[in-house]
Structure 1
Amino acid sequence: MSSSIVILSKSKHAALTYSPVQDYGFAAGMSAIPLLMPEVERMADCFAIIFPREDTATPHALTGLGGRNIFVDQRGRWTAPRMPLAVANYPFSLAAAPFTHEEERREPVLAVDEDAPHFRKKKGTPLYDGEGGATDFLKDLLRRMGGQYRLYLDSRKALAELQLSGVLRESSVRARVDGRERSVGGLRLADRQRVMALPDATLAGWARNGLLAMLFAHWHSLRHLETLLRDPSCPAAQEPALSTPEQ
């Protein structure tokens, strides 16, 4: 967690006000952005979906191969037709907090990036009222992000099963760009042959829990690698430099 990202506290942030700002410069260095499992099918419309971390099967939207996010322009504008929730939620996020099995359905802890431009204007929407209670804005935010947190909890078992299945492996992908064939390596992808060789009972379970739909969207999304390979900052035939949000 960045030093400027802290747990939201009514004692510390009683006077904090929020103003919407269309500045996504914070994401300019993120070349892979984590997704909730239910996001994958929509995000696959415009991003290549990969599984970059070896310790988890969390899907990520690949937004660059040269160490930068090609969907954030020099003015900090988001240029892709879709936006992952991890970006749309900024400057708010769900804080990682340990919990026991019995507590895992509790409401999440909200964190804020205190350095975000959204909090720098004198006038804005307050997070707390004069008595220290949450305003309607904050209550609505907590409801929305609480819903996202429950989606995350609901998908953990399925993603853990995917991680343990052995179908995710580091791969190279080739694409034809401007008449030339280019390749990119170091991508952790789902191996289609390994998936289809799984027992019927496993595949049936994956059809019910959404993993199969996610994997088909993942495979279909790889067509977007051509867009990333066209970017001038992309190194030719090298492993991609991935930069993900701090966990």
Structure 2
Amino acid sequence: MFTNVKSLEPAKHGNLRLRDTTDYLFAAQTMMAPVVFSEIADVALEYPITFPSRDDLPLQVLLGFEKGRNAYVSKDGRWLAKYIPLHFQRYPFALAKRDAFSPDGKQAYSVVFDTDAPQISETVGSPLFAPDGEHSPILSDRMQLLEKFQKSEIATQRALSVISGCGLLKPFDLRVRTATGVVSLTGMRRIDEAMLNSLPDHNLGELHRSNALALIYAHLISLPNLKRGPLAGEASGVATEGLAGTLIIGDDDMIRFT
């Protein structure tokens, strides 16, 4: 999705504008996307949440079963769910770590952006910078969104570390049977419910204090989204260009479209 990332600088990019658009074709090939704690309640209602294969990777949602296919984006660029994850709301901007720290010892970040993003223009949209080089209102709003995402991402990673430390994650490899054949999905993990139910009280307390229990419940609640919504070929009763068929999840984690 981010194809040509540059640091945003008023001296170099003072003429750039941000177009307001509802065209999400830029995300049409994104199969997985990071999500953070602050949005988890909204995400769990419409997306299947999975844990990454490594503890240093972000919590993620599955957006498609076939490579290069985001089932939540229609052919004409509409987003086929009510809630749009912050990862896509912040685009074309992101925060990148710098080799520097603030006076109080905190990690410093630079604002970067995708120069190839369809939202970026020199002639259409709202200016990113005021004539004096200060942030415009629309860029200030995006900065607040970036800061919100970054802070929540840190809290999410802490919770993931606690979940992993309690031994609650197991591989979640899926095989999806579609009309054109079987697709294998790997590199994900899920909560081991048997391990969760047998945890001692002190571990449960640790999960609660770190907000990890909320992530666990959101993950478990979200899994039926594998068989409904855009992934199953329907979007809340509205005709979509999602994957067609009736979804069946068996005890062997085989997902079948019939």
Taking structure 1 as the reference length, the TM-score comes to: 0.81
Q: Which amino acid aligns with 2:208?
A: A
Query: CA distance change for structure 1 residues 185 and 2 in 2, over 3 Å: closer, same or farther?
Result: closer
Match of 2:215 in 1: 214
Query: What CA distance in whole angstroms lies between the structure 2 residues aligned with 1:142 and 1:21?
Result: 18
Query: CA distance change for structure 1 residues 154 and 221 in 2, over 3 Å: closer, same or farther?
Result: closer
Match of 2:14 in 1: 14
Q: Look up the SS of the partner of 1:61 in the other structure.
A: strand
Query: CA distance change for structure 1 residues 131 and 185 in 2, over 3 Å: closer, same or farther?
Result: closer
Query: CA distance change for structure 1 residues 118 and 200 in 2, over 3 Å: closer, same or farther?
Result: same
Q: Look up the SS of the partner of 2:52 in the other structure.
A: coil
Query: What CA distance in whole angstroms lies between the structure 2 residues aligned with 1:2 and 1:183?
Result: 26
Query: What CA distance in whole angstroms lies between the structure 1 residues aligned with 2:132 and 2:167?
Result: 53
Match of 1:48 in 2: 48
1:124: Cα distance to partner? 2.0
Please show how residues 1-247 of structure 1 align to structure 2 within 5 Å.
2-56=2-56, 58-67=58-67, 68-97=69-98, 103-104=105-106, 106=108, 108-120=109-121, 122-171=123-172, 186=186, 187-227=188-228, 228=231, 231-232=243-244
Bigger share in strand: 2
Query: CA distance change for structure 1 residues 98 and 8 in 2, over 3 Å: closer, same or farther?
Result: same
Query: CA distance change for structure 1 residues 72 and 129 in 2, over 3 Å: closer, same or farther?
Result: same
Aligned residues: 233
Query: What CA distance in whole angstroms lies between the structure 2 residues aligned with 1:202 and 1:75?
Result: 48
1:13: Cα distance to partner? 0.7
Identity of aligned residues (%): 27
Query: CA distance change for structure 1 residues 28 and 185 in 2, over 3 Å: closer, same or farther?
Result: closer
Query: What CA distance in whole angstroms lies between the structure 2 residues aligned with 1:239 and 1:100?
Result: 47
1:79: Cα distance to partner? 0.9
1:210: Cα distance to partner? 1.4
Taking structure 2 as the reference length, the TM-score comes to: 0.77
1:221: Cα distance to partner? 0.9
Query: What stretches of structure 1 of length at least 5 have no aligned partner?
Result: 241-247
